[in-house]
Structure 1
Amino acid sequence: MSTQNKRYRRPRWHISQFKVKEEAGKVRFHDLFLPIALMRAIQEVGYQYCSPIQAMTLPYSLDGHDCIGKAQTGTGKTAAFLITVITDLLEHKLEEQYVGEPRALILAPTRELALQIEEDARALTKYSRLKVAAVVGGMDFDKQQKQLTEQRCDILVATPGRLIDFMNRKAVFLDQVELLVIDEADRMLDMGFIPDIKTIVRATPRTEDRQTLMFSATFSQDILNLTDRWTNDPVRIEVEPKVKTSDQVEQHVYLVSADEKYDVLRRIVKQDDADRVMVFANRRDIVRDLSEKLKADGVACQVLSGDVPQNKRIRTLDGFKEGKFGVLVATDVAGRGIHVDGVSHVINFTLPEDAEDYVHRIGRTGRAGKKGVSISFACEDDSFQIPAIEEYIKRKIDLEQLPDYLLKDGLFAPKAEPEVAPEETSVESESAPEEAAVESAAAAEQAPEAEAEVEAPAEPEQPVAEEDAPKAEEKPAEKPAAAAKPKAGGEQAELALESAAAEPVGEVTEVTVDETEDGPEITVEVFVAEDETETENEEDQEKAPKA
């Protein structure tokens, strides 16, 4: 047989290729005995150990129990219910399946979150034959309908409104749903989706004939009432981090007036370290107004809010991820379920009305082990939200005054100053602080003869001619002493003594430092010898070792 006709076959993947050490207190995915195709995908996405919500949920959900979980965004709950769904579908295959009849249904409150779940589901089903589809509002209806009617669908991710549209058109039938997942149930309640969800749940099999998983950031009484109706003897799991805000995020809350906010925002986004910035506001009109102002000031930015068409929102988010523009101005629609790497700053132009949204907003930065900065503006209109935020995040928020570099245009955040090399001193003396020049002039007025002799280029043994004195007085600006930054009074006195001792011309009898409105004023009294003999004697005394 010719080698040309032989088809290359990749070697089969084996679980031995996925090695994870056992560690005390951690649950490996190996310990859950998941299907091989799923384990291969788990290795590829980089999972090794279960997060707390996964470790607590999966043993029960994989065993077929209904679960209600209390967990924040970013705790790994998406992977928890996706692993449950994929495992069940792979282990219980159907002999016959029709188009438009999903076996698992996942409901999400927002389009962005639904699309994120779809992306994660595709990654975890990469090495299986399971089909994933998403139906969300604001996107091409015909394209989504074609996706449902031309091929089978195992896992359907949907927002409530668009799903009901397809149900009314007889494009989707939910009577074969084996697993129902309701993500962010509290958000569904807040957004008024509960009537739609009730309609959807009634179209699925009875609670005894399906497995139901519900996740919520809070367990309010309304949520608990819904779980009683939609689940069958559920296992209740609560995972709430002790610290709700990441240590990777440097948080600042600045006291500003409403009129100052925009100018401060403009200065922040123009800082050198502001690589990728997300600006949050509570209302759509504020977001549009901010975007227009920033564009007029030469800042490349785009808007992400509920009134932007879905296809444009996706393009906007992709452009922000790819770095095509540096500032994204958004409402809280972008605060949840959106993962963008490399966000350096999150700015709360208005403090959120819900304390939980504060956590979701600042959680867009400081991800993947990188540092991030959160800046919030507290003005007279929304500072009353601070106590609720403090109570929710379990920490005190320090209110700060604006730093100097945010008060004026053209200033930048201070950086550590490099040490000045000795040979650079004469160059820096040209830009010495004004106070140092005032101090030098004051000293020159009190002791002109000493000043002249200290700076004269002639050797110390030769007397200084009177005609050289004016030239000597022109040189204090080039002195290393003038390049030094203003110091405390005692340090300035020591500096003057050391300068006088460098070239012995006389005896310093007294040094006085007076504080004036223009800065410290130094008076130096020096006794100068009149003949060469006295000058030589004084030089010997000065060269003698000091105590």
Structure 2
Amino acid sequence: MTLTEQAEQLKDSVPDTKATPTRPRRRRRSPPWSLEQFVVEPCEGKARFHDFELPLKLMRGVAALGFEYCTPIQAASLPYTLNGHDIVGKAQTGTGKTAAFLLSIVTDLLNHPIEDERFLGEARSLILAPTRELALQIAEDAVQLTRFTGLKVHALVGGMEYAKQLKRLETTHCDILVGTPGRLLDFANNRDIYLDQVEALVIDEADRMLDMGFIPQVRRLVRLTPKNCDRQTMLYSATFTQDVLRLAEQWTEQPAQIEIGADRIATDSVEQKIYITTADEKFQLLNLILSGDNVESVMVFANRRDICRNLHDKLRKKGLKVGLLSGDVPQTRRIKTLEGFKNGSTRVMVATDVAGRGIHVDGVSHVINYTLPEEPEDYVHRIGRTGRAGRTGISISFACEDDAFLLEPIEKLLGQKLNCTMPDDLLSDMGAPGAAGTDSDSDVSQQSVPDVEDTSNLTSVADDAVSVEAKPEVLDVGEADGVMPDSEISDDAPKAPATPVGVDDIDTSSNADDTDPTSNSNSA
């Protein structure tokens, strides 16, 4: 057989793959989404999201989040804000105010798309929040609501890499911009963001802005936006003090005023207990509570970072999976800590009030006030971390000789008397073992140490590739305005570059703010 014949024979023996081409499997297209897939029966006394003319893409996001009926603040404010009116709302954390203003903003952006050329860094809406934690939580909520709309969300907060935030601003448009005052001014001073085209402005927790000394920074940001008559402004506060009302008068145009009092907060789902004890017995009681069978996920609040640090260390020595959120914890570590608490790998979270202003974790079974808050509103924020998403929760507060006098203003705010019991009742209530341990609270410092974050702790973390470098050329807004003492300046202010978070890279675990709001009233 010749070589030619051998080659022909070999060719014939090889199967011709081209003769039987394989057809690629087609992906079946799902039918377009419609309101028929989101049926909510009318309920007397409750407003449905169907009752408002929300865009279909937005309603799909509402359905995906499982929202059915409006909360009181949503039902009261949406008729005004959806029609373009300004609003001044009194509402605590946990009332649904975030969704209230986001629904209005997204509806306006979808109903009035920009057909002309847009510039990068040019925001269509601006949301100001006093803490990093709250800003990132709002940004995360915005991403969830707008997932089917194509709108772009950016978050600019301190303590994270400036360049990363800037890179995203330079690559995608900015429909919704969320941030803290100092970091936003940092970007504005560097001409990396432009606010002259803002259509909707939200100032969240205006009372906390006042407490933390951020109003001068907020004023400068507001001046960069269009005039009152050319933008929609929504201002929310937990209280209506004269200072807050004066700010509302300056920044809004004929606003509708809506009040959702503390008695309207969903505290019916939270069982509140007060245990009368001594400072030396507190840790023993805490240890006893944490050993209870029905204690699943717990947040322990204390007023100062030194108390939180000592509690964290002592609980870890007892073998508990415990995390710490306070001003002296580096930003990247806070994110990991909060993520561990969300996924259940951390059972106990010890935190200052700064963490209570933005943590939204479903499934928190207990909130323990190791020390009573000095501001009554903070009590409401604390207990609002449990009893969420239709579940019930338990709030336990320790009242000792040092802080029992703080109960009266809390009861006045709630409009009800709180039932105080002696710790002897704890055994039967909690079903915990009889031996509570012998550790006393004497080594948990009670001295007044404000929870102001030491920016020197924000060192580079290799795993997260987060670097914090000094930027001397950036104006320190707090010092320039002459209103913020050093103890109140967070590293969120433009002292050093922080990091913006965008739609694709928002860390859902969030992070605590750089300054504990309680530091103002507790500093020595």
What's the TM-score bracket when you normalise by the shorter of the two chains? Answer: 0.7 to 0.9
Identify the residue that residue 19 of structure 1 maps to in structure 2.
39
Contact 1:278 1:347 in 2 (8 A): yes
- The structure that is helix-richer by fraction is 1
Partner residue in 1 for 2:341: 320
Q: Give the aligned partner of residue 340 of structure 1.
A: 361
Equivalent-residue separation in structure 2 for 1:9 and 1:269 (angstroms):
50
Equivalent-residue separation in structure 2 for 1:405 and 1:73 (angstroms) = 29
The correspondence of residues 181-192 of structure 1 with structure 2, limited to 5 A, is 181-192=202-213
Q: Work out whether 1:70 is the aligned partner of 2:117.
A: no
Bigger RCO of structures 1 and 2 (CA < 8 A, at least 6 apart)? 2
Is the aligned partner of 1:123 residue 2:144?
Answer: yes
Whether 2:194 is the aligned partner of 1:173: answer yes
| Correspondences of 1:72-471 after superposition (within 5 Å) | 72-95=92-115, 96-242=117-263, 244=265, 246-403=267-424, 412=433
1:175-208 C-alpha deviation (Å, 9 max, x unpaired): 1111101111111111111011001001111111
Q: Which amino acid aligns with 1:209?
A: D
User: 1:102-158 deviations in whole A, cap 9, x for unaligned?
Assistant: 100111111111111111111111111110110111122221111111211110110
CA distances 1:68-106 after superposition (whole Å, capped 9, x unpaired): 111121111111110110011111111221110010011
Secondary structure of the 2:207 match is: helix
1:285 to partner: Cα distance = 0.9
Q: What secondary structure is seen at the aligned counterpart in 2 of 1:72? A: coil
Kindly indicate whether residue 71 of structure 2 is the aligned counterpart of residue 55 of structure 1. no
Q: Distance in 2 between matches of 1:83 and 1:399?
A: 41
Specify the SS of the correspondent of 2:174: coil
SS at match of 2:386: coil
| Cα pair 2:203 2:236 within 8 Å, conserved | yes
Separation in 1, partners of 2:411, 2:25: 70
Cα displacement string for residues 407-464 of structure 1 (whole angstroms, at most 9, x for unaligned residues): 9xx96279xxxxxxxxxxxxxxxxxxxxxxxxxxxxxxxxxxxxxxxxxxxxxxxxxx
| Cα deviations by residue, 1:494-545 (Å, 9 ceiling, x for unpaired) | xxxxxxxxxxxxxxxxxxxxxxxxxxxxxxxxxxxxxxxxxxxxxxxxxxxx
Q: TM-score, normalised by structure 2?
A: 0.75
Letter in 2 for 1:141: Y
Q: CA deviation at 1:251?
A: 2.1
Q: 1:40 corresponds to which letter in structure 2? A: R
Aligned letter for 2:54?
Answer: L
- Counterpart residue number, 2:515: none
Kept in 1, the 8 Å contact 2:273–2:419? The answer is: yes
Bigger radius of gyration? 1
- CA drift of 1:271 comes to 2.5
Q: 1:244 deviation in Å?
A: 4.5
Any stretches of 5+ residues in structure 2 without a counterpart?
Answer: 1-21, 436-524
Q: Compared with structure 1, are the counterparts of its residues 124 and 381 closer, same or farther at alpha carbon in structure 2 (3 Å cutoff)?
A: same
Change (3 A) 1:213 1:411: closer
Tell me, yes or no, if the aligned pair for 2:269 and 2:387 is still in contact at 8 Å: yes
CA distance in structure 1 between the partners assigned to 2:289 and 2:71 by the alignment: 36
8 Å Cα contact 2:291-2:432 kept in structure 1: no
Partner amino acid for 1:105?
A: L
1:282-336 Cα offsets, whole Å, 9 max, x none, are: 0111111111122222222121012222222111111011121211110001212
- Tell whether the 8 Å contact from 1:38 to 1:87 is kept in structure 2 after alignment: yes
Partners of 1:108 and 1:114 within 8 A in 2: yes
Q: In 2 relative to 1, CA 188–413 (structure 1 residues): closer, same or farther, beyond 3 Å?
A: farther
How far apart in 1 are the matches of 2:32 and 2:223?
A: 43
1:92 partner letter: H
Distance 1:405 1:378, change over 3 A: closer
Specify the code of the residue in structure 1 equivalent to 2:42.
E
Letter in 1 for 2:369: N
Please tell me the residue identity of whatever aligns with 2:376: A
Please say if residues 87 and 234 of structure 2, whose CA atoms lie closer than 8 Å, have aligned partners that are also in contact.
yes
8 Å contact 1:243–1:393 — kept in the other structure?
no
What letter corresponds to residue 37 of structure 2 in structure 1? Q
**In 2 relative to 1, CA 265–217 (structure 1 residues): closer, same or farther, beyond 3 Å?**
same
Distance 1:6 1:411, change over 3 A: closer
Q: What does the per-residue CA deviation read over 1:221-248, in whole Å, with 9 as the maximum and x for residues that have no partner? A: 1011001111111111112253546233
Distance 1:183 1:71 in 2: 10
C-alpha change, 1:404 and 1:239, in structure 2 (3 Å) is: closer
Query: For the Cα contact (< 8 Å) 1:271–1:413, is it kept in 2?
Result: no
Aligned mates of 2:385, 2:107 — CA distance in 1: 31
State the secondary structure of the residue aligned to 1:103. strand
Write out per-residue CA displacement over residues 372-421 of structure 1, whole angstroms, 9 at most, x where no aligned residue. 222211111111111111111111123211126669xx96279xxxxxxx
The separation in 2 between residues aligned to 1:396 and 1:23, in whole angstroms, is 32
**Aligned partners of 1:61 and 1:413: how far apart in 2?**
55
Helix, strand or coil at the partner of 2:279 = coil
Structure 1 gap segments, 5+ residues each: 415-547
* Corresponding residue SS for 1:242: helix
SS across alignment from 1:307: coil
Contact 1:102 1:174 in 2 (8 A): yes
- CA distance in 1: counterparts of 2:50 and 2:198, whole angstroms: 28
Contact 2:372 2:398 in 1 (8 A): yes
SS in structure 2 opposite 1:259? helix
Give, in whole Å, the separation in 1 of the partners of 2:273 and 2:313.
26
Identity %: 58
* 3-state SS in 1 of match to 2:433: coil
Closer, same or farther: CA 50–411 of 1 in aligned 2, 3 Å: closer
Aligned residue-pair number: 412
